[in-house]
Amino acid sequence: MRRVPAARGPLSTGVLELVTAGPPDGTARPAAAGDGDPWGEDHQLALHLCYELHDRGLPGVDPGWEWDPGLLGLRRALERPFLAAVRAATGPVPPLAELVDGLLTAPGEGGPSGYLLAEGERWQAREYLVHRSVYHLKEADPQLWLLPRIHGPAQAVLMAVTYDEYGAGRPERAHALLFARMMADLGLEASYGHYLDAVPAPALAAVNLMTLFGLHRSLRGAAVGQFAAIEITSPPGAARLAAALERLGAGPDGTLFYREHIEADAVHEQLVRRGVIDELTAAEPELAQDIAFGLAASATVDDRFAAHLLDHWRAGRSSLRSPLPDGPGRSGRPSGVRPSGV
Ligand SMILES: [Fe+2]
Ligand SMILES: [Fe+2]
């Protein structure tokens, strides 16, 4: 059964204490004082909890908290430094066309998918799915916030792409469900939110950024950019991950999600570039800079996530906050030694 996660510091403690105490009465004034690190565990979990109230809700929590003014004030106080940190880490953003061309030709082999294909072990592949489950078990909900914020041809094409993400009229082909089937094939629990306590800040930050962009009309260009980054970079990474999982013993269900994305996102990449970006920038040229920022910011959070994974894996350590049963334990048990029954 889904539970609220454990707090990771004063900010997430404050959010959890507030929303689990009962329905909102409009008087809540949660403190926004954390450790000052917008990339940190406490900050990212607190933001994730605020966003879940707009999304799936939190187990046992009154849905009225979604629009509680005090909690919204805290959410804004968390969003501002996070967005500023993303902008600072991203630096100057190149022109949109240059960024898109760069993504199309970037091999991406040095990232987690390349690592898993070349030398990854099964426990590392399982960890990768746990991290990604925070997004893929609700794919593409964060992008749907964008749909009523753009209009004309770009909206119609974005609708067509997201229709595919939900199975194109076949519920059993919804990408979130394919991801759940893949998790089950790899021996993981596939229910929503099951691994949240184990997922560290770099993985939460990537998903929080999607929701941040999606929920703010002022950031709709950036939301388009982040969506485009996913679709454009997905096919080669998906091909590497499908091959890696097959090598590591996944069955047909265990590669279906990534196999689906090799083909689907080759089409989506074209649609997003021609039908969404080109159409939107023709209709609203002033959005080009924000779209470029979304593309670049997406790379910023993905690079941080990738560095987190590879730093831990290369050191023989789990990249999760608490290792899976077959991962290296806190005692430093070497990787590759798998307890029986896993
Ligand atoms: Fe998808
Ligand atoms: Fe897609």
pLDDT in tens, 210-236: 999 999 999 999 999 999 999 988 888
Q: Long-range CB contacts (< 8 A, 24+ apart) of 1-6?
A: 1/59, 2/59, 2/191, 2/192, 2/193, 2/194, 3/59, 4/49, 4/58, 4/59, 4/60, 4/61, 5/45, 5/49, 5/193, 5/196, 5/197, 6/197
pLDDT in tens, 130-180: 999 999 999 999 999 999 999 999 999 999 999 999 999 999 999 999 999
Least confident of 70-74, 103-107, 239-243, 250-254: 103-107
Domain CATH for 273: 1.20.910.10
**Three-state SS for 55?**
coil
Same domain for 205 and 127, yes or no, is: yes
Same domain for 161 and 173, yes or no, is: yes
Ligand 1 centre from 225 Cα, in Å? 16
Least confident of 31-35, 45-49, 74-78: 31-35
- Gap between the Cα atoms of 53 and 64, Å rounded: 9
Per-residue pLDDT averaged across 285-289, rounded?
Answer: 97
Ligand 1 centre from 165 Cα, in Å? 5
Query: Is residue 334 situated within a structural domain?
Result: no
Same domain for 55 and 164, yes or no, is: no
Asked which of 89, 115, 139 is the last residue of a domain, the reply is: 89
Ligand 1 centre from 201 Cα, in Å? 23
Ligand 1 centre from 261 Cα, in Å? 6
Q: In this model, does residue 242 exceed pLDDT 70?
A: yes
Ligand (nearest to CA of 260): 1
pLDDT in tens, 109-124: 889 999 999 999 999 9
Ligand 2 centre from 266 Cα, in Å? 8
Q: In this model, does residue 331 exceed pLDDT 60?
A: no
Q: How confident is the model at residue 107 (pLDDT cuts 50, 70, 90)?
A: low
Asked which of 89, 121, 144 is the last residue of a domain, the reply is: 89
Q: Long-range CB contacts (< 8 A, 24+ apart) of 14-20?
A: 14/46, 14/74, 15/46, 15/49, 15/50, 15/71, 15/74, 16/49, 18/65, 18/70, 18/71, 19/49, 19/53, 19/58, 19/61, 19/62, 19/65, 19/71, 20/60, 20/61
Same domain for 186 and 151, yes or no, is: yes
Per-residue pLDDT averaged across 83-97, rounded?
Answer: 97
Handedness of CA 259, 131, 108, 289 (dihedral sign): positive
Ligand (nearest to CA of 174): 1
pLDDT confidence of residue 336 = 44
Per-residue pLDDT averaged across 226-255, rounded?
Answer: 94
- Gap between the Cα atoms of 234 and 213, Å rounded: 20
Ligand (nearest to CA of 271): 2
**Total structural domains within the chain:** 2
Q: Give the residue ranges of DSSP H helices in 69-108.
A: 69-90, 96-105
Q: In this model, does residue 34 exceed pLDDT 80?
A: no
DSSP string, 256-302: HHHHHHHHHHHHHHHIIIIIIIIHHHHH-GGGHHHHHHHHHHHHHHH
Chain centroid to CA 230 = 10
Ligand 2 centre from 272 Cα, in Å? 9
Ligand 1 centre from 164 Cα, in Å? 8
Q: Which two tokens stand for residue 296?
A: 């670049």
pLDDT confidence of residue 122 = 97
Same domain for 123 and 45, yes or no, is: no
Ligand (nearest to CA of 234): 2
Please count the other Cβ atoms lying within 10 Å of the Cβ belonging to residue 198. Answer: 20
Q: How confident is the model at residue 265 (pLDDT cuts 50, 70, 90)?
A: confident
Q: Which two tokens stand for residue 270?
A: 């074209």
Neighbours of ion ligand 2 (CB under 5 A): 265, 268
Ligand 1 centre from 275 Cα, in Å? 17
Ligand (nearest to CA of 161): 2
pLDDT confidence of residue 28 = 87
Average pLDDT, the chain: 93
Ligand (nearest to CA of 257): 1
Ligand 1 centre from 155 Cα, in Å? 18
Ligand 1 centre from 252 Cα, in Å? 17
Ligand 2 centre from 137 Cα, in Å? 14
Ligand (nearest to CA of 140): 1
Same domain for 102 and 73, yes or no, is: no
Ligand 2 centre from 164 Cα, in Å? 7
Range of the domain at 238: 93-314
Cis peptide before 190 (omega within 30 of 0): no
Same domain for 226 and 269, yes or no, is: yes
Ligand 1 centre from 175 Cα, in Å? 5
Closest to 122 measured CA to CA, from 333, 325, 331 = 325
Ligand (nearest to CA of 179): 1
Same domain for 231 and 298, yes or no, is: yes
Same domain for 84 and 99, yes or no, is: no
Residue linked to tokens 């004030």: 73
pLDDT confidence of residue 56 = 94
